[in-house]
Amino acid sequence: MKQPSVYIMASQRNGTLYTGVTSDLARRAFQHREGLISGFTKQYGCKLLVWYEHYERMDEAIAREKQVKAGSRAKKLALIETVNPQWNDLYEELSR
């Protein structure tokens, strides 16, 4: 299902974090998991989808992505811990 989304991928619990935006979260998370996208996530092994938010419009998602990216690492960790304290890989819930 295509829907604008902001997401955070992690290499492991409290590991390296990557924040992104996409119109198709399931596809993009799969690409990160399988190492199909060269760059930061492949280099640092960010394969776990640990946080995401959906939006109605892409401009809203882009604005939120900029806000999250501008925040400190501590703020990103707090976002993750609030909705996913166990740092589970949320990829599987996308197909539900």
Q: What is the pTM of this model?
A: 0.94
The answer to whether the CB of 64 falls within 8 A of the CB of 6 is yes
The answer to whether the CB of 43 falls within 8 A of the CB of 58 is no
Distance, in Å, from the CA atom of 84 to the CA atom of 78, rounded to the nearest integer, reads: 10
Q: Parse the chain into domains and list their residue ranges.
A: 5-95
- Residue 41: its pLDDT value, please? 92
R_g of the chain, CA atoms, integer Å: 12
The answer to whether the CB of 42 falls within 8 A of the CB of 9 is no
pLDDT digits (tens, 9 = 90+) for 54-67: 999 999 999 999 99
pLDDT digits (tens, 9 = 90+) for 32-49: 999 998 999 999 999 999
Q: Which CATH superfamily is domain 5-95 in?
A: GIY-YIG endonuclease (3.40.1440.10)
- pLDDT > 90 fraction of the chain, expressed in percent and rounded: 91
Distance, in Å, from the CA atom of 36 to the CA atom of 59, rounded to the nearest integer, reads: 26
